[in-house]
Amino acid sequence: MANILELVAEFEQENLKDNIRLAFEQAEHERQFLIKRVTEGKATSSKKQGRPEGSCNIKTDKAEHIKQTIKDLSKDFDGKYSDAKILREYLHNTSKGTYYKYKKELKEEIA
């Protein structure tokens, strides 16, 4: 009786492995089909893809304020404060990424 149950369990385990493999193959097939459909749809569409041209070059008052603060206060621009202090005390609502992006832009303008 134990041998029969062991054989049934082994059969079920093999069957389960096959079902999992088939499910992954089907999911990959569906993924490839979806990628193909999206690519074809973009190719036939008359609508322009991506961001509007020049949308990254829009100047805002907030960006100008941050850049001016960096110019005035940063040690890299003859100021007397570190980046951490400027972010903590003067630009506390500005993320580090935004701060360093504008700082990099200012350095590129000077160079």
pLDDT band, residue 1 (cuts 50/70/90)? confident
Read off φ and ψ for residue 78, nearest 5 degrees: 65, 25
The pLDDT of residue 53 is 76
Beta-carbon-side half-sphere exposure of residue 54 (alpha carbons within 13 Å): 1
Q: With 90 as the cut, is the pLDDT of residue 58 above it?
A: no
The pLDDT of residue 52 is 77
Read off φ and ψ for residue 84, nearest 5 degrees: -60, -40
pTM: 0.51
